Amino acid sequence: MTSLDFTPDEMMTIAASRMLSNEDVCFVGIGAPSAACNVARLTHAPDITLIYESGTIGTTPDVLPLSIGDGELCETALTTVSVPEMFRYWLQGGRITIGFLGAAQLDKYGNINTTVIGDYHKPTTRLPGGGGAPEIASSSGEIYITMKQSVRGMVEKIDFYTSFGHGDGGDHRQRLGIKTKGPTLLITDLAIWRPNPETKEFVVTSLHPGVTRDDVQKTCGWSVRFADDLETTPNPTDQELQTLRALKERTAAAHSG
Amino acid sequence: MTSLDFTPDEMMTIAASRMLSNEDVCFVGIGAPSAACNVARLTHAPDITLIYESGTIGTTPDVLPLSIGDGELCETALTTVSVPEMFRYWLQGGRITIGFLGAAQLDKYGNINTTVIGDYHKPTTRLPGGGGAPEIASSSGEIYITMKQSVRGMVEKIDFYTSFGHGDGGDHRQRLGIKTKGPTLLITDLAIWRPNPETKEFVVTSLHPGVTRDDVQKTCGWSVRFADDLETTPNPTDQELQTLRALKERTAAAHSG
Amino acid sequence: MTLFCSLHDAVADNLKDGDTAAFEGFTHLIPHAAAHEAIRQGRKDLTLIRMTPDLIYDQMVGMGMVEKLIFSYVGNPGVGLLRRTRDAIENGWPRTIKIEEHSHAAMANAYEAGASGLPCAVFRGYLGAGLKDVNSNIRSLTCPFTGEELAAVPSIRPDVTFIHAHRADRKGNVLIEGIIGIQKEAVLAANRAVVTVEQIVDDLDTHANACVLPHWSLSAVCEVPGGAHPSYTHGIYDRDNAAYLEWDKISADHDSFLAWMKTNVLDASPEDLEARVSRLRKVK
Amino acid sequence: MTLFCSLHDAVADNLKDGDTAAFEGFTHLIPHAAAHEAIRQGRKDLTLIRMTPDLIYDQMVGMGMVEKLIFSYVGNPGVGLLRRTRDAIENGWPRTIKIEEHSHAAMANAYEAGASGLPCAVFRGYLGAGLKDVNSNIRSLTCPFTGEELAAVPSIRPDVTFIHAHRADRKGNVLIEGIIGIQKEAVLAANRAVVTVEQIVDDLDTHANACVLPHWSLSAVCEVPGGAHPSYTHGIYDRDNAAYLEWDKISADHDSFLAWMKTNVLDASPEDLEARVSRLRKVK
């Protein structure tokens, strides 16, 4: 296997999976976050606790769920609680270390829009809405975001604040009385980003293998800052790639019904 | 068995049991209420739903529990829920038709004291306190009270308002925003009492067999009113007495342990 | 015991034009059979409440039965957008609908408050979120001990809730297992509650702390095997993920949507669902 | 995995002088072993929280360890009064104690709010009740939708909670069955939580929706068979009702109380409890 025998999408998922540890209690959004969390569990973090908002705690699915409430999640969970309990005792109760979210629109301060494109009352495109995200964003210890880069998705100003990240940056969270850290990590198909400690603007800290600064800027709607000590994301290992691909294959087979 | 082959205590329990029906969902206090509810279930109301504050719903114990949380209650229940759920969904949610309470001190408006004798901060006697009673009294559809008569127990003015009955009488409940009926029945070892529809003062509507008006007044600390159409409580039937005595025997055997 | 009846009668007796109704199910146990019966009976001007409106609300919206939608995630879970609902919101087809949008946490708390007989739910939520600015039912109150400002939303009190569940015993007590979601709260918050079950059995035969609804908390219980399809009943048949993927195509235009509704809903009956789940049944 | 340890170490590490502690159990699963260990270790100036303080709090009050009691029913369930606690409140023996008294509904809601990370609990309660006048922690707030005045109490957030439970698996996940009471909320509301269990097993082997506490929500797990006696562990051994009746006599005067404490607590060990439940064990 040569160094570029993987897709940007695979690199994104694997880079995200590496950020998770055995000690994490992770509130998992569907899609890319779910894949990353389960790759982590199947590789270096077998004891990670994965929680889906359907109430499944400590779930260890063999295939990725299509929805957040697939039967597989419950069958392989330590326990399954009601949805009010999930949001009250486990999320609002402060027991989640990492909330892992995707985004339709994102700005450089980690604010997320999954509600509407255009005006809320007369939308150009009505998106699904926030679901659990508004309170995942405020109640989880910290937030990881993962999404594919595009100028439509990564914008200077989002159309709607579905989930609050760092607002206008700086200490905006604290000023609203939010005690959690908010977005501390953004993993895209091209790079790893972390917020500047002062301004909270996302800064590229690591480029994925073969990706240039220009690639990142061309697919991002804001003017990108790069860290002084910019790194290169290590290639996926064979084990990581094989784990991810086997998971996707099992998933495709299961969902084709 | 002759007509007076029963104790006043047995008459009290049996008279109370007759007030319950198959359709009732009854929140059961320990002691005399528990005996009455279970005699009802074992005689004319086999489908009555009995609920204890420990979370046991639809319980059908073979012996009377010593505490509100004996294992027997759970083993014979339809389901057992947590205590917060019991107080939130089932009691506060308005699903209880009858709350059945005992009392250490009672006044003529059905206000109950089980907290202190004397001053709250320097009590002569510290009693156990309210437990579930304050909200049973306000959230149950109506309240039945059962207690043995005594001038110490049935008083002109109680020392502490553990559970609100009709307050100072009349529409006092409505004035406090309470929407439930409050005490609608008092069953003592000597008589059956019901509140006057206007004043809400308890009035004796039926004397137990062999009991005189004077017996009632001598064991009651307030000036007793009797209904114009005062009735006599029917004697316990053989089935009622046998059911109650067998229940008490099974209970005594079980608790001597 | 009049609790047991046909699904036709349960819907006819308990769902009226103009009602506020919840057909709840959190991915699991979605009451498709009950919703399809409501569509066949042509109810209109409904206010529909649900955390995750999915195919059934998309269908009811597309059939023009819905005046208002109260929700927190209006997607086809794991697939994408709900095209009929989107069409109604963006283009007013077949009619305009009002929306009241919340977060999951808000709706979960609002159902919980409804089940608890409270007028409102209090929680820590909507911090920095945009929904506060477009939904006047998101308010706040102040903790009288710490001074913290907390979010408040009205409790949910539907006229009627429909759910699907595993089993009922012969008295009508109902068991729900697995992802229990918001089902118990949705039933206890409602004035009336209709439950379709896979099976009526002698004994629920379950754990002391399982999710059980007593018969006296319900208005009607109907035996409808397969009544959740293409959602699932845990341990009995699997989720028909392929059907959820197909819906994305069926719902893409008016004609294919209406044709599918005629064949699969209007001209169908509750008895048809059992056949649809046969290949999804778990081998014991 | 440092989660598993001796009861001695669990109490020494997690309960400090001056702590606010809850030893919870609603008649069922009362953590007698843990409380006795706390008595042996001589902790003092504790604020003890419990809905139904019974024998263990009566013992701790009688041993002079308690500065304040927060409770909603201070009785020996089904027997009568708690004589040591009454003596402390009425006569200040062996020391005066402060009390903060609530109703069950208030404390259940306050634990629930603590587990939910909220500063206060909101419910419909204390209407016309006298406790409002003697407890400044009973306040009110107004529903911003209906104007209804609702009761508010501070959430309960103990420094440490002790509970007894059925089983733990080898990772330290804990199962509670039967009358689950307020146990889960008391654990999740606390900064630290210690659980004694009847048995450590390979697999919890239970229902999908059983009451399970994940190992990462706990501070210590100790295997102490019989650790609830004279309370009970559902399905394993029965409640020792006779012991509850006897306590009424033992606690009637200072000498008999102190003698009993010496023999049965101070000079005893957690290992003694197993023998005390042998005749109460369920025959399978």
Q: pLDDT at residue A29 above 90?
A: no
**Is C91 a residue whose pLDDT tops 80?**
yes
> Residue B154, SS3?
strand
Q: What percent of chain C has pLDDT over 90?
A: 94
Q: Is residue D238 part of a domain?
A: yes
Judge if D222 and D138 occupy the same domain: no
What is the pLDDT at residue C2?
73
* Each residue's pLDDT tens digit, B193-215: 999 999 999 999 999 999 999 99
Write the pLDDT tens digit of every residue in D149-164: 999 999 999 999 999 9
Confidence band, pLDDT 50/70/90 cuts, at residue B4: low
Tell me if C173 is assigned to some domain.
yes
Nearest neighbour of D119 by CB, restricted to C140, C145, C207: C145
Tell me: pLDDT of B246 over 50. Answer: yes
- Subunits that touch chain C (at least 3 Cβ pairs < 8 angstroms)? A, B, D
Inter-chain contacts counted by CB atoms under 8 A, chains A and C: 187
List of chain D residues whose C-beta atoms are within 8 Å of the C-beta of residue B65 = 78
Q: Name the closest residue on chain D to residue C137, using Cα atoms.
A: D145
Q: What is the SS3 assignment for A94?
A: coil
Listed range (A26-35, C26-35, D52-61) with the worst mean pLDDT: A26-35
Which residues in chain B belong to E strands, given as ranges? 25-28, 49-51, 56-57, 79-80, 98-101, 105-106, 112-113, 116-118, 123-126, 142-147, 183-188, 191-195, 202-207, 225-232
CB-nearest to B93 from C115, C173, C211 is: C115
Domain shared by C92 and C214, yes or no: yes
Q: Which of C54, C79, C70, C83 is nearest to C110 (CA)?
A: C70
The conformational region for residue B31 under phi > 0 = left, psi -120 to 50 = alpha, else beta, is left
CB pairs under 8 A between C and D: 82
For residue B30, which of B180, B131, B116, B150 has the smallest C-alpha distance? Answer: B131
Task: State whether C131 and C81 are in the same domain.
Answer: no
C154–D141 CB contact, under 8 Å: no
Query: Searching chain C, which residue's CA lies closest to the CA of residue D234?
Result: C208
Please pick, among A53, A72, A201, A240, the residue that the annotation labels catalytic.
A53
Asked whether residue D118 falls in the same domain as residue D45, the answer is no
CB contact under 8 A, D211 and B82: yes
The verdict on a CB contact (< 8 Å) between D120 and C143 is: yes
The answer, for C217 touching chain B at a CB cutoff of 8 Å, is: yes
β-bridge mates for residue A116, sequence order? A126
If asked whether residues C111 and C173 sit together in one domain, one would say no
pLDDT score for A1: 42
Q: Are residues C182 and C273 in the same domain?
A: yes
Average of per-residue pLDDT across D39-43: 98
State the pLDDT confidence band at C78, using cuts at 50, 70 and 90.
confident
A89/D185 CB distance under 8 A: yes
Return the residue of A nearest to C235 by Cα.
A71
Cis preceding linkage at C94, omega within 30: yes
Same domain flag for D174 and D114: no
Residue C283 lies in a domain: no
The 10 Å CB-count burial string (b at 16+, else e) for C228-241 is bbbbbbbbbbbbbb
Query: Hey, is the C-beta of C70 within 8 angstroms of any chain B C-beta?
Result: no
Sort out which chain D residues have CB atoms less than 8 A from A49's CB and list them. Answer: 214, 216
User: What pairing do the DSSP bridges indicate for beta strands A142-147 and A183-188?
Assistant: parallel
Q: For residue D260, how many other CB atoms are within 10 A of its CB?
A: 17
* Domain limits for position C140: 104-154
Determine, for residues B78 and C217 on separate chains, whether the beta-carbon distance falls below 8 Å.
no
| Cα D23 from Cα D272, distance rounded (Å) | 20
Q: Which of D75, D77, D105 sits opposite B132 (nearest CB)?
A: D105
- Nearest residue to A101 via CA among A130, A65, A64, A70: A130
Do residues B152 and B220 make contact, with C-beta atoms less than 8 angstroms apart?
no
Decide if B94 touches C, using CB distance below 8 A.
yes
Q: What is the pLDDT of residues D31-40, one digit of tens each?
A: 999 999 999 9
Question: Whose structure tokens read 């989720």?
Answer: C239
Q: Which of C154, C171, C194 is the last residue of a domain?
A: C154
Above 90 in pLDDT, residue B2?
no
Least confident of A23-32, A243-252, C136-145, C167-176: A23-32
pLDDT for the residue C283: 61
Q: pLDDT band for C181, please (50, 70, 90 cuts).
A: very high
Q: Which residues of C touch B80 (CB under 8 A)?
A: 208-209
CB contacts of C212 in chain B (<8 Å) are 57, 78-79
Average pLDDT value for residue range D179-196 = 98
In three-state secondary structure terms, A206 is strand
Least confident of A18-27, B62-71, B117-126, D133-142: B62-71
Question: For residue A2, is pLDDT > 70?
Answer: no
Contacts of D180 in chain C (CB under 8 A): 209
Asked if A53 is an active-site residue, the reply is: yes
Hey, what CATH topology would domain B8-254 get? Glutaconate Coenzyme A-transferase (3.40.1080)
C207 in the same domain as C189? yes
Mean pLDDT within C247-271: 97
In whole angstroms, what separates CA A175 from the centre of its chain?
25
Does D185 contact chain A (CB < 8 Å)?
Answer: yes
Q: Are residues C97 and C44 in the same domain?
A: yes
The letter for the amino acid at D123 is: F
* CB-based contact A131 C52, cutoff 8 Å: yes
Give the minimum alpha-carbon distance from A228 to chain C in angstroms, rounded to a whole number.
Answer: 31
**C131, C154, C177 - which closes a domain:** C154
Contact flag B49-C216 (C-beta cutoff 8 Å): yes
Instruction: Tell me whether residue C1 is in a domain.
Output: no
Peptide bond into D230 cis (omega under 30): yes
Of all residues in chain A, the one with the smallest CA distance to C74 is: A128
Phi, psi of D140 (to 5 degrees): -145, 160
Residues C196 and C95 in one domain: yes
CB contact under 8 A, B79 and C217: no
Nearest CA in chain C to A135: C125
pLDDT of A225 > 90? The answer is yes
Q: Which residue of C has its CA nearest to D149?
A: C119
Total count of domains within chain C? 2
B176 touches chain C (CB under 8 A): no
Answer yes or no: do D115 and A94 touch at CB < 8 A. Answer: no
For residue A254, what pLDDT is reported? 83
Backbone angles phi, psi at C144, to 5 degrees: -75, 0
Looking up residue C91, the CATH number of its domain turns out to be 3.40.1080.10
Q: How many residues does chain D have?
A: 284
Classify residue A222 as left (phi > 0), alpha (psi -120 to 50) or beta: beta
Residues 132-151 of A with CB under 8 A from D: 139
Residues C183 and C89 in one domain: yes
Q: State the pLDDT confidence band at B32, using cuts at 50, 70 and 90.
A: confident
Interface test with D, best of B53, B56, B79, B83 (most D CBs within 10 A): B83
Same structural domain, D184 and D130: no
pLDDT of residue A69: 85
For residue B106, the tally of other CB atoms under 10 A from its CB is 29
Cβ(C233)–Cβ(C208) below 8 Å: no
Q: Residue B1 — very low, low, confident or very high, per pLDDT cuts 50/70/90?
A: very low
Residue B257 confidence (pLDDT): 55
ipTM: 0.97
Domain map (residue ranges) of chain B? 8-254
Tell me the per-residue pLDDT of B85-100, one tens digit each, with 9 for 90 and over.
999 999 999 999 999 9
